[in-house]
Copies of this chain bind each other. A is one copy, B any other.
Amino acid sequence: MTDRRIVALAGGVGGAKLADGLARVLGDRLVVVVNTGDDFEHLGLHISPDLDTVMYTLAGIADPERGWGIRDESWTFMEQVSRLGGPDWFRLGDRDIATHAIRTYRLRAGDTLTAVTADLCRSLGISSQLLPMSDQPVRTKVHSGGLTLPFQDYFVRLRCEIPVERLSFDGDAAAHLNPLVEAMRGAETPEAIIICPSNPYLSVDPILSVPAMRGWIKDTGAPVIAVSPIVGGTAIKGPAAKIMQELGVQPSVTSVAAHYRGLIDGLVIDTIDDVHVADIQAMGIATNVTGTVMRSIEDRKTLAQSCLTFLKTLGSGIR
């Protein structure tokens, strides 16, 4: 029974929902390391889609239907961009741009993404700690038919319509661990590490591509679990199942287990997938079968609690 902190790794919507459930249970004991592989510059603004999704979700201002941006948003800026013949394929709401503008001018002034994110979170009343996976740029690229596409071109502009042959994370070799994760290394053992139900290829692999990240996770000795984003052979949201097929991998919880094999001690899967328990346990990975689809705030908290209970069975001293 300790008050040690718990680290979650998260990408976009699904990851943000579980991170929110964990934040509601753990408050300032939660550290969320967020994917920045999707970050890009648009209209001169530095945009961090996953950081924003997690931040807006934990602040309770995320738009529940669109899956990105702020609720009750207005679009005056975007209308004027179209009128002026500017690029309007990536939509930015009037409130949302405030985040990007503040982030951009502070980064230009020499602040780190970690520092800017901390201040934005404080302004939004978030008590958990949100950390970009690295303060250096790591950029996810989609390789398809001889083309190399920046992530947003693939994801937003082409709506994931081309087949993914390979993914790479430009800049990964030169990136450093987030300085606050680096500070934890050796000095503090987290109680547990939870890989949220985000896309393993597009959201979690970029985080794991940062040198020393994978090693740090193993070296902590803390139990590590993942929550499968694949439920009943498909993804709740986003292109995870489609990409797995394109990469020649069967979209299933077993494939998710195989993907994280060697890194995780346990996998949380949905009740619909309980037929796969034996296959997963055969890999030396424990399983927790529960409802993993989060439709309400209550669902988020319930899944978070289920994860914490599961971690106790794996040796965590979580209170």
Q: Which residues of A contact B (CB under 8 A)?
A: 41-46, 70, 74, 76-81, 83-86, 94-95, 97-99, 101-102, 104-105, 108, 119-120, 122-124
Contact across chains for A104 and B43 when beta carbons are under 8 A apart: yes
Contact across chains for B74 and A86 when beta carbons are under 8 A apart: no
Contact across chains for A76 and B95 when beta carbons are under 8 A apart: yes
Residue in B44, B97, B105, B119 whose beta carbon sits within 8 Å of that of A105 in the complex: B44
Q: Provide the residues of chain B in CB contact with A122, threshold 8 Å.
A: 85
Interchain CA distance A77-B99 in the complex, whole Å? 9
Interchain CA distance A158-B123 in the complex, whole Å? 26
Closest Cβ–Cβ distance, residue A133 to chain B (whole Å) = 22
Residue in B44, B86, B119, B123 whose beta carbon sits within 8 Å of that of A108 in the complex: B44
Q: Provide the residues of chain B in CB contact with A99, threshold 8 Å.
A: 80, 84
Contact across chains for A84 and B97 when beta carbons are under 8 A apart: no
A to B CB contacts below 8 Å, 13 in the list:
A43-B104, A44-B44, A74-B76, A74-B94, A77-B94, A80-B99, A81-B102, A83-B98, A84-B99, A84-B120, A84-B123, A85-B122, A86-B101
Contact across chains for B102 and A77 when beta carbons are under 8 A apart: no
Interchain CA distance A119-B46 in the complex, whole Å? 24
Closest Cβ–Cβ distance, residue A99 to chain B (whole Å) = 7
Contact across chains for B123 and A85 when beta carbons are under 8 A apart: yes
Closest to A124 in B: B84
Interchain CA distance A79-B99 in the complex, whole Å? 11
Contact across chains for B44 and A119 when beta carbons are under 8 A apart: no
Contact across chains for B81 and A98 when beta carbons are under 8 A apart: yes
Interchain CA distance A291-B55 in the complex, whole Å? 58
Residue in B43, B120, B124 whose beta carbon sits within 8 Å of that of A101 in the complex: B43
Q: Provide the residues of chain B in CB contact with A81, threshold 8 Å.
A: 98, 101-102
List 17 extra interface pairs beyond A41-B108, A76-B76, A97-B97, CB under 8 A: A41-B105, A43-B102, A43-B105, A44-B46, A44-B101, A45-B101, A74-B74, A74-B76, A76-B95, A77-B95, A80-B97, A80-B98, A80-B99, A84-B120, A85-B122, A86-B98, A97-B101
With known contacts A44-B44, A84-B124, A123-B85, A76–B94 Cβ distance under 8 A: yes
Contact across chains for B77 and A98 when beta carbons are under 8 A apart: yes
Closest to A88 in B: B98
> Which 4 pairs show the lowest CB-CB distances between chains A and B?
A44-B104, A80-B98, A76-B94, A44-B105
Closest Cβ–Cβ distance, residue A33 to chain B (whole Å) = 22
Contact across chains for B84 and A98 when beta carbons are under 8 A apart: yes
Closest Cβ–Cβ distance, residue A35 to chain B (whole Å) = 22
Contact across chains for A102 and B86 when beta carbons are under 8 A apart: yes
Interchain CA distance A81-B123 in the complex, whole Å? 10
